[in-house]
Amino acid sequence: MVGQILFIALTLAAVALFSYNLRKVIRNIRLGRASNRSDQPEKRLMTMFKVAFGQTKMFFRPIPALLHLVVYVGFVIINIEVLEIMIDGIFGTHRIFGGLGSLYNALIGSFELLALGVWAGCAIFLIRRNVIRLKRFTGVEMTSWPKSDANAILISEILLMTAFLIMNAADAKLQLLGSSHYITAGAFPVSQYLQVLLPDTETALIAVERACWWFHIIGIFAFLNYLPYSKHFHILFAFPNTYFSNLEPKGEFNNMKSVTNEVKAMLDPSYTPEEAEAGRFGAKDINDLSWVNLMNAYTCTECGRCTSVCPANITGKLLSPRKIMMDTRDRMEEVGRNIDKTGKGFDDGKSLIDTHISREEIWACTSCNACTQACPINIDPLAIITELRRYAVMEESQSPASINTMLSNIENNGAPWKYSPADRLNWASES
């Protein structure tokens, strides 16, 4: 009974803490401007199933894609057993679904094979990050925290799978000993080989099995509450992020209604302006971005695929699309903490542009959309870069000299070049 009470209290505390942190994250995302992404629901659902569930964009790199699929599917399916653990923990039973017979045996056997796959996949990912040290896992933004965050999750998954297999090995050995409470149920194709490492006495085996059982469930609760602080939030946010992703042609710019009204009024004095939301041009801080941009930042996996294909980054420029997303998330968290301390309306004198993202970074972007195309969960760094540029040009009139020259040429010559329109066909004249 003491164990059941402790388990229920632990479960309620874990769920309450996760709900509290999740509400904070949602609050932070809602700091962004409104954006209508409710159109084409069928297409959005298909995009979510293909990209989030099917992980189709991962397979541009087939080896890590297969490893990720094994880890993802294995971890999710193995945690179906958490349902049984929850029921056993609440009611004091043991293997409550054991009465399913051969079906239960098949399930436990498949869980063990998947657990082995998850263990191996995580070990390979650790080697790739810390031994081989792939280039896309490095960069100025990959400080000690992002590196340790990734390693902590991989090590945690290895420990959880190890505990699961040792728990089953001890359980199977207790079944063979005919220990009370340990009913004969399950198949153990992997953990049967671990039995030789375990003690032979019933008391010691029960201690090992219970220790692993508690470690497994506490580890899952800890993992759940670590997610809001980790890049692994994409485990949950990948689905809404892909559902609400941009369905328009990649790189298509959205005209601001306020600007469109001015232009149309200049061309047609009889034009009646459409209703437009008041506000600054572009984005200076996170509250000027849309809620979709902010959700993108929380969903970023920090995998580096965007940065690895960015032509500006490849040629040595300061821009890293991954850093843009990480900086946006950091600023959002900073603003959220300010709200927690002082309430809304507090100005800390900082902003997304300049404080977190430099002018050099945003103007290094070629707007090629390689980053958006490469992202496995449809994150759009270019949308944030574009809004920061729009603010710099339209609010501050600050842009690089080369862009000012181009804009001046367009105004005077109707083209980006300095030549007069009358001279455009000179190249075709006979010499």
* 224 and 264 within one domain: no
Q: Which of 232, 247, 273 is the last residue of a domain?
A: 232
Question: Is 51 inside a domain boundary?
Answer: no
* 81 and 119 within one domain: yes
Q: Which of 215, 232, 249 is the last residue of a domain?
A: 232
Q: How far apart are CA 251 and CA 243, in angstroms?
A: 18
* 68 and 141 within one domain: yes
How far from each other are the two terminal CA atoms of the chain, in whole angstroms? 100
What average pLDDT does the segment 42-70 reach?
93
* 409 and 261 within one domain: yes
Question: Is 116 inside a domain boundary?
Answer: yes
Whether residue 403 is predicted with pLDDT greater than 90 in this model: the reply is no
Question: Is 402 inside a domain boundary?
Answer: yes
Instruction: Look up the CATH number of the domain holding residue 334.
Output: 1.10.1060
Global confidence as pTM: 0.88
Give the pLDDT band (50/70/90) at residue 124: very high
In the predicted model, what is the mean pLDDT of the chain? 91
Question: Is 273 inside a domain boundary?
Answer: yes
Structure tokens at 428: 């075709």
Q: How far apart are CA 66 and CA 344, in angstroms?
A: 45
The confidence score (pLDDT) of residue 322 equals 97
* 180 and 116 within one domain: yes
* 116 and 186 within one domain: yes
* 266 and 150 within one domain: no
Q: What is the DSSP string of 170-185?
A: HHHHHHHHT-TT--S-
The confidence score (pLDDT) of residue 267 equals 86
The confidence score (pLDDT) of residue 123 equals 96
Question: pLDDT digit string (tens) for 166-198?
Answer: 999 999 999 999 888 888 888 999 999 999 999
Question: pLDDT digit string (tens) for 201-260?
Answer: 999 999 999 999 999 999 999 999 999 999 999 999 999 999 999 998 877 777 777 788
What average pLDDT does the segment 276-293 reach?
87
Q: How far apart are CA 290 and CA 131, in angstroms?
A: 39
Q: What's the total number of domains in the chain?
A: 2
Residue 29: closest CA among 227, 341, 235, 240 = 240
* 261 and 228 within one domain: no
Residue 309 contacts residue 321 (beta carbons within 8 Å): no
* 323 and 281 within one domain: yes
Question: pLDDT digit string (tens) for 4-15?
Answer: 899 999 999 999
Q: What is the domain range of residue 83?
A: 2-30+61-232
* 307 and 219 within one domain: no
Question: pLDDT digit string (tens) for 105-115?
Answer: 999 999 999 99
